[in-house]
Structure 1
Amino acid sequence: MSKFDRYMLSQLMTLFGFFALILVSVYWINRAVSLFDQLISDGQSAWVFLEFTALTLPNVIRLVLPVAAFVASVYVTNRLSSESELVVMMATGFSPYRLARPVLYFGLAVTLMVAVLAHLLVPASRVRLADRRGEIAENVAARFLTEGTFLHPADGITFYIRQITPRGELQDIFLADARTPGRSTVYTAERALLVKSDTGPKLVMFEGMDQTLAAEGQSLSVTRFADFSYDIGALIGGAAARRPSVEELPTPMLLAATEASAEAAGTTRAAMLLEGHERMARPFLALVSALIGFATLLTGGFSRFGLWRQIGMASVLLVFVQFLANGATSLVTRSPAAWPVVYLPVAAGLAIAALALSFAGRARRVRHGLVAAVAS
Structure 2
Amino acid sequence: MLLIDRYILKMAALAAIVILIGLTSVIWVTQALREVDLITGKGQTVFIFFTVTLLSLPALIAGIAPVALFMSTLYTLNKLNGDSELIVMNAAGIAPHRLTRPFVMLTIATSLLVGYMSISVMPAGFRALRDLITLIRADFVANVVKEGQFVSLDSGVTFHYREKQGDALLGIFMQDRRDPAQPAVYIAERGRTVDADGNSFLLLEKGTIQRETKDKDRDTTSIISFERYALNLSALSGDATGGDGEGNGDKVVYKPRERTTWALINQDPNEGYYKIQAGRFRAELHNRLSAPLYPIAFMLVAFAVLGEARTTRQGRNAAIQTAILTVGAVRIGAYAAWTASVRSPFAVVLLYVLPAATIAIALLLIFYGNRLRPFLARLLAPLLAPFNGLTARLRRA
Q: Would you call these one fold, judging by a TM-score over 0.5?
A: yes
Q: How does 1:166-181 map to 2 (within 5 A)?
A: none
Please state whether the residue corresponding to 2:4 is helix, strand or coil.
Answer: helix
- CA shift, 1:279, in A, is 1.1
SS at match of 2:270: helix
Size of the aligned set, in residue pairs, is: 315
Name 1:108's counterpart in structure 2: 108
CA contact (8 A) 1:159 1:176 kept: yes
**1:244 to 2:254 alignment:** yes
| Structure 1, unaligned runs of 5 or more | 180-186, 188-192, 204-229, 365-376
Q: Does the CA contact (< 8 Å) of 2:302 and 2:323 recur in 1?
A: yes
CA RMSD, 1 decimal? 3.7
Shift of 1:308: 2.0
Instruction: Give the Cα separation in 1 of the matches to 2:334 and 2:345.
Output: 15
Map 1:177-196 → 2, pairs under 5 A? 196=194
1:275 aligns with 2:278: no
Give the C-alpha shift of residue 304 in structure 1: 5.3
Unmatched 5+ stretches in structure 2: 152-156, 175-188, 206-226, 237-247, 374-397
Aligned AA (2:327): L
Structure 2 residue 270 is the aligned partner of structure 1 residue 260: yes
Superposed, 1:49-64 pairs within 5 Å as: 49-64=49-64
Question: Which residues of 2 match residues 268-307 of structure 1 at below 5 A?
Answer: 268-298=277-307, 301-303=310-312, 307=316
Q: 1:267 to 1:51 in 2, by over 3 A?
A: farther
Which string of whole-angstrom CA distances, capped at 9 and with x for unpartnered residues, describes residues 296-339 of structure 1?
Answer: 12357232575222111110110121133123223322222453
- CA gap of 1:45–1:96, structure 2 versus 1, over 3 A, is same
- The secondary structure found in structure 1 opposite 2:162 is strand
**Offset of 1:293 from its aligned partner?**
1.3
Contact 2:69 2:299 in 1 (8 A): yes
SS in 2 for 1:260: coil
Larger Rg: 1
1:357 is aligned to 2:377: no
Q: Per-residue deviation at 1:243? A: 0.6
C-alpha change, 1:360 and 1:301, in structure 2 (3 Å) is farther
Offset at residue 32 of structure 1 (A): 0.2
Question: Are residues 202 and 140 of structure 1, via their aligned partners in 2, closer, same or farther at CA, if it must alter by over 3 Å?
Answer: farther
| Residues 87 and 131 of structure 1, relative CA distance in 2, 3 Å threshold | same
Q: From the superposition, tell whether residues 275 and 93 of structure 1 become closer, same or farther in structure 2 (CA, over 3 Å).
A: same
Query: Partners of 2:314 and 2:228 in 1: how far apart?
Result: 76
Aligned residue identity for 2:99:
L
Partner of 1:40: 40
SS of the residue 1:242 aligns to: coil
Please name the residue that 1:318 is paired with.
327
Partner SS, residue 159 of structure 1: strand
Q: 1:175 to 1:66 in 2, by over 3 A?
A: same
The amino acid of 2:344's aligned partner reads S
Give TM-score scaled by structure 2 length. 0.68
1:140 CA drift (Å): 4.7
